[in-house]
Amino acid sequence: MRFRFEMDGDVYSKHKDSFKRLLAKHGLRWRGSLDRPFWASATERVTGLFDRDAEKDLLKSATLTWESAGKSRLLEDLKAWAWEVGANAVEDRSPSAEEVTDEVEQALRYWDFVWKPNEDLLKAQGRPQAWIDADVKQWKQRRQERRRELIGQATD
């Protein structure tokens, strides 16, 4: 189950401290990065999508997405918070990341057939181990990017 909370950037900026206190009250902790911000507990997750104007250093809009297997007290508190600050709360009926995992893993297996370095073949051809390690590292990074891309496509 997913709910989206959409608001203007200035609304989020003014009320982000109360939002973060609400998450902490319900046991959600920061687990994301600046590129993919999210807070999570064992049963719930809230992700953030922020549209920024880099030139003006301004937040244009914010979308917060709550995900869990079922409704919770946090969801009710988030709805109340959204109503209080003037955000829109909408139930999101698109599939969650967990629901599309099998499809994403299948697509990644096909992607690996093409892009994964064959370490044994590279060693047999005399390629230095440092270069092979660099190739594998680069492949892993690209694979993570591809996973994010596939999950994004499947859940939109």
* Every domain of the chain and the residues it spans: 2-92, 98-155
Given a contact cutoff of 8 angstroms between Cβ atoms, the answer to whether 36 and 54 are in contact is no
Give the per-residue pLDDT at 97: 63
Extract the tokens encoding 133: 């390690």
Give the per-residue pLDDT at 156: 62
Extract the tokens encoding 81: 């918070």
Cα–Cα dist 14/86, whole Å = 11
Given a contact cutoff of 8 angstroms between Cβ atoms, the answer to whether 47 and 38 are in contact is yes
Contacts 24+ apart (CB under 8 A), 12-20: 12/50, 12/59, 12/62, 12/87, 13/59, 14/85, 15/81, 15/85, 18/81, 18/85, 19/64, 19/81
Residue pLDDT tens, the chain, 156 long:
889 999 999 999 999 999 999 999 999 999 888 778 889 998 999 999 999 888 888 999 999 999 888 889 999 999 999 999 999 988 877 666 667 788 888 999 999 999 999 999 999 999 999 999 999 999 999 999 998 888 877 776
| C-alpha torsion angle, residues 137, 139, 145, 149 (rounded to 10) | -160
Give the per-residue pLDDT at 35: 77
Fold of 2-92: TATA-Binding Protein (3.30.310)
pTM for the complete prediction?
0.61
Give the per-residue pLDDT at 150: 86
